[in-house]
Chain A
């Protein structure tokens, strides 16, 4: 090692692999690790026990650990960390890893592995972790030498949080956790094969600025990239100075304030009429940190049948011109590119054709007048949309809302107006049922004082409900809003529309009494059956600052999510409530 000028040797201490793992996490400033112990990670757990800087959250199933770590990241901007054992520990974590991968969430998963000498011999609790997780991680490592542990963990965090973020798995055999070597955490890391582009190309940004100024029917379409790069301030500045309409994807909600008049609502399969129509009929589209996926633009051929110029800003070159050809691609970090764009456009906005823009807004207002999200407010049974509206009011629009997957997810996205980023946490890409509750845990750990609501349905909830026990252990005062319609609602809706009302296996029979279920875990349960009881129940639940409250809303079984773009159709070919 280095010798000091006075001749004394400065020698780094010799530590075990397990100690090194914990010291690395400490050096990365990791506050919480979500995990579950097992044979292959016993030495790491032993080191966790001996210190108090890195806190461990014991989940009840490894899927919960990954979702919690994922949502911890989404609700904070830090890297989420989980720790699982070999074999089933890893396979249980795969769903959560794939969820984070699809939504580009920075996460580091440390997994135990059987000792190096046993690898490949079908040892107890052995699985090919690197092989199983390879298609659903940004990168993964098997560390076979204790001298590589520190550098690998450094790389893992670096890869997870830079470029297009994503989950990274570090698989550590048990004997590596007991072997010893000198420990020094590298301060920086250089990888010749990994240098993501951050700055946008100035020439391309200039071209984009010109297109934006020349637009007659402009549209700004933004996605999760705005949230991930913390660019909502820049986005708002840009959209406000231009006076253009803006829409967010499901992953991008909160990127632009939903209560702003220039916001057209979410777009896509269950997007608003005005957002989808404006998307289809604009002449210049500024796409920022979004990827034109199938749930957003529907049939790409239909979308491409209307001529328009597209500017696409994304950090991942492979997201550009994947489903839709674009005219001005800009590869770079969304925040940096928006900063440059704002700088370029500042003082230039006088060049915008205000007459054309006014006519475009008049058209948009006509589309808006369709009031596509309206529903029967006078109904005698609880409408799910009504619950979300009341949740929005009761929380002052300032809660962190997690959701599971299905109809309730779409209603939450449509009716809870997110004004700030990192308040809306859902599995948009993979569509993982069971995400909501563990995600709420992660969000609560990241924001101890905040109101965290988990909007769920009875089917989704039961996929990870064991985490109610974790919530009790850590006293997490989550408010669970269960929109209980006794159906897998979205499956039922598709079966109603496209499968001749044959509700094949989409009915939830033999449901538990959710009030008693919550109580059995030591929580508070409430069952709400009348519309007039919705708001008082929500307010009562929010008053209970220290309790997890499970609100079981018995909702209209037949309610559908509108508007809806059927599979394979163009986004302007929506089914509206009135069409039926």
Chain B
């Protein structure tokens, strides 16, 4: 009858499957608002896969996109706890409905000899743009879903990759649904 629980502080391990969720938040563009959100995730042991934030067309508001993973219960707690933050105006779990998500990557690759042409071809296939060229390198801009960016990295020779920088996902709902005040 007893589930094996080590201490009253240990919640029973839920076997519910952790799913990836993308949460969009409108919050007051105030100093400290970001640290409140980040602090909440670390204090309560939630995962953050990525977090992006920037002011919106209304400078008093910031729009944040958080990619996280968790069971339904955990995601419910995350959204409730986020809503409790005084600076959070509105939020939506984009993954509940059709949505678009995009991430930007800048990647610097070795482009010498016969690889130089190959790199150019790869960038074209993935609809990347070459932003900067030197005699030995290309810097490529690539936009897409996280998995597309992953796929591009996979397609390259590891040794050719000099540097990557990714923004993390931004998301928006499809169709008429909007997140605004």
Contact of B86 among A135, A139, A568 (CB under 8 A): A139
Q: Beyond A139-B86, A193-B87, A318-B77, is A568–B5 a contact (Cβ under 8 Å)?
A: yes
Q: Does A321 contact B (CB under 8 A)?
A: yes
Number of interface residues of B (CB under 8 A): 31
Contact between A299 and B35 (Cβ–Cβ < 8 Å)? no
Contact between A302 and B2 (Cβ–Cβ < 8 Å)? yes
Contact between B1 and A302 (Cβ–Cβ < 8 Å)? yes
Q: Which residue of B lies closest to A269 (CB)?
A: B8
Interface segment among B9-17, B46-54, B157-165, B170-178: the answer is: B9-17
Q: Which residue of A lies closest to B60 (CB)?
A: A192
Q: Does A305 contact B (CB under 8 A)?
A: yes
Contact between A300 and B12 (Cβ–Cβ < 8 Å)? yes
Contact between A568 and B1 (Cβ–Cβ < 8 Å)? no
Which A127-155 residues have a C-beta within 8 angstroms of B?
130-131, 134-135, 138-139, 142
Contact of B80 among A193, A318, A570 (CB under 8 A): A318
Residue-wise, chain A 457-480 has the 8 Å CB interface mask toward B (1 for contact) of 000000000000000000000000
Which B9-54 residues have a C-beta within 8 angstroms of A?
9-12, 27-28, 31-32, 35-36, 39, 43
B35 cross-chain contacts in A, Cβ below 8 A: 131, 134
Q: Which residue of B lies closest to A196 (CB)?
A: B84
Q: Does A62 contact B (CB under 8 A)?
A: no
A131–B38 CA distance with the chains assembled, in angstroms: 12
Residue-wise, chain A 109-141 has the 8 Å CB interface mask toward B (1 for contact) of 000000000000000000000110011001100
B8 cross-chain contacts in A, Cβ below 8 A: 269, 294-295, 298-299, 567-568
Contact between B5 and A299 (Cβ–Cβ < 8 Å)? yes
B86 cross-chain contacts in A, Cβ below 8 A: 138-139, 159, 191, 193-194
Q: Beyond A192-B181, A193-B88, A194-B86, is A568–B7 a contact (Cβ under 8 Å)?
A: yes
Q: Beyond A134-B36, A318-B77, is A193–B5 a contact (Cβ under 8 Å)?
A: no
Give residues in B with beta carbon < 8 Å to A: 1-3, 5-12, 27-28, 31-32, 35-36, 39, 43, 73, 76-77, 80-81, 83-84, 86-89, 181
15 contacts between A and B (CB under 8 A): A134-B32, A134-B39, A135-B43, A194-B86, A294-B9, A299-B2, A301-B2, A301-B3, A316-B84, A318-B77, A318-B80, A323-B11, A567-B8, A568-B7, A570-B2
Sort A-B residue pairs by CB-CB distance and give the 7 closest, nearest first: A301-B3, A318-B80, A294-B8, A568-B5, A193-B89, A567-B8, A139-B86
